[in-house]
Amino acid sequence: MGKFKDKRLDKRASKLSALLLAGRSSSIHEIAPTEAEQKAAYRFLNNEKTEEETLIKTVKERSSYLCTGKDVLVIQDTTDFNLTNHRRRLQPNTGVGLAGGTTDDVGFFLHSSLVLDGRDETILGFSDIQLWHREGQSTKEERGYKRLPIEQKESFKWIKACNESKEHLVAATSITFIEDREGDIYEQFARIPDERTHLIIRSRDNRNLSNGGKLFDELSRQPVSGGYAIDIVKDIRKGIEKRIASVEVRFCKVNITKSASALKKDTARQVELHAIEVREINESVANPIRWRLLTTHVVDSYKRAIEIINNYRKRWYIEQLFRLLKKKGFDIQSSELETGWAIRKLMIMILNAALRVMQLLLAYDNQHCQAVEEVFDPGEIKCLKGLNKTLEGETEKSKNKYDPGQLSWATWVIARLGGWKSYNTQRPPGPIALKRGLDKFASIYEGWKLALSLKKDVS
């Protein structure tokens, strides 16, 4: 029996997943080839038996065995999907509520935990996915937010994600959670770390230290251990310009003390951590870099500090994933579905499709490339091998130079299907070529499976 314990729902889930992988769109109208397919997809997403939790388990399952024996990085973050422009179409009380920055915004939130192989940065999948929406318009003061235990706060999502991930990734050798400033929660430092679990979190608060000082002051007093250049990616939302930033690095060991918001009496009164400061030397630029990182990893050298900084910078992966889910990719916020529950289920299914696009993009020319079977199933790999023979030319330059066991080999095939010429003078395949290639491959693969089925029936 399949995931939904219903053969029809399992078959429809498989079909819709294939369409999403190919289409790189959230529009059922665009990705479904026939009206009958469109109606079937709508029925599936609106069916109460297709529960969110079942879809989430399906999306998560690959990472549970792909992590075996590996030191993994788990990048956590939150994003919101604003559906305000479609509020008149959306049915009320169906999985959407307050979202975004104002009390008028309608939508829902996603908190996801993206798993990477710490050695080669290949993407292994997800270890936790949480969806929710806010109800009511009361302020934090009205709710007595500061007096609530952490388990009753929205910020508990960070701790919950860590605990869920630790259980899901039990086969991993070690786990390092990487989070931005919103994850700077005392209870997380006190509860989550153990012999195989670590944290790297960007500090938000100038925490009190056991020596009576403050975290930021303690870091500023440390001698510069070294400096180097960081390539800064442009981010219009944060007012950050693309540039090469010269930074200096400081680090030290600290003991942070229990915050007033940590209400439970059995919470440790202090936690030993290692702190790192990354400061841009040219402070005349707009928004100069000044990161203060807290980690449970031992930082006893400049080299080790750089390793922690580089791991923190891998948050880029989850930021790219969120962009891919939104306007630059699948554009979930433009979905024509009429209930929040259906849009949420569609978003969960799209996560796998978005992940595959990212994996293919990262695989090309990556010397530590991901194994092809971590992304494509055995049937798809057989079909890709057949296609590879038809796409290679006579000369060495026109052949697929990659190892058939590596994902870069599959990226070459998919890109060629999408119109990329593979010339030495040509740039690596981009997302548009890969999107076209995946779209074409999905159609070819369906025909290939049908041909095999007919051949089997004849024999």
| Residue 363 confidence (pLDDT) | 80
Residue 152's identity, in one-letter code, is Q
Number of independent structural domains in the chain: 2
Structure tokens at 283: 């402070």
Do 417 and 299 lie in one domain? The reply is no
Low-confidence ranges of the chain (pLDDT < 70): 1-2, 21-24, 100-103, 136-145, 236-239, 283, 328, 365-368, 424, 426, 431-432, 458-459
Q: Does 437 lie in the same domain as 394?
A: yes
What pLDDT is recorded for position 141?
A: 59
Q: pTM to 2 decimals?
A: 0.85
Q: Are residues 131 and 214 in the same domain?
A: yes
The one-character DSSP state at 429 is P
Start-to-end CA distance of the chain, whole Å, equals 28
Q: Cα dihedral sign for 414, 129, 192, 275?
A: positive
Q: Are residues 161 and 275 in the same domain?
A: yes
Q: Are residues 216 and 145 located together in one domain of the fold?
A: yes
Looking at residue 103, what is its pLDDT? 66
Tell me the CATH number at 443: 1.10.740.10
The pLDDT, as a whole number, for residue 136 is: 67
- Cβ pair 25, 31 in contact under 8 A: yes
The secondary structure of 103-117, three-state, reads CCCEEEEEEEEEEEE
Check residue 143 and give its pLDDT: 62
8 Å CB contact between 95 and 344: yes
Tokens 């195989």 correspond to what residue? 196
**Sign of the alpha-carbon dihedral angle for 123, 125, 127, 129:** positive
251 and 376 inside one domain: no
Domain assignment present for 25: no
User: Quick one: which of 396, 210, 251, 230 has its CA closest to 316?
Assistant: 230
Q: Which residues lie below 8 Å from residue 427, measured CB to CB, with a gap of 6+?
A: none
Identify the three-state secondary structure at position 377: coil
Q: Do 76 and 169 reside in the same domain of the chain?
A: yes
Residues 381 and 311 in one domain: no
Inside any domain, residue 28: no
Domain end point (choices 332, 355, 377): 332
415 class by beta-carbon count within 10 Å (0-12 exposed, 13-18 middle, 19+ buried): buried
Token reading at 310: 């580089």
Given this model, what pLDDT does residue 157 score?
97
In a domain, 133, yes or no: yes
Please indicate, yes or no, if residue 103 is contained in any of the structural domains. Answer: yes
Its sign, for the CA torsion 258, 152, 166, 62, is: negative
CATH number, domain containing residue 279:
3.90.350.10
| Residue 409 resides in a domain | yes
9 located within any domain: no
Q: Are residues 322 and 398 in the same domain?
A: no
Would 19 be classed as within a structural domain?
Answer: no
As a whole number of angstroms, the distance between CA 426 and CA 346 comes to 36
Q: Is residue 7 part of a domain?
A: no
Greatest alpha-carbon span in the chain: 82
Residues 172, 251 share a domain: yes
The reported pLDDT for the residue numbered 431 is 65
Q: Do 145 and 96 contact (CB within 8 A), yes or no?
A: no
Q: Within this chain, do residues 447 and 309 fall inside the same structural domain, yes or no?
A: no
Domain span holding position 242:
69-332
Task: Name the helix (H) or strand (E) containing 164.
Answer: helix 156-168
Q: What is the pLDDT of residue 1?
A: 41
Question: 396 and 280, same structural domain?
Answer: no
Q: Which pLDDT belongs to residue 20?
A: 78
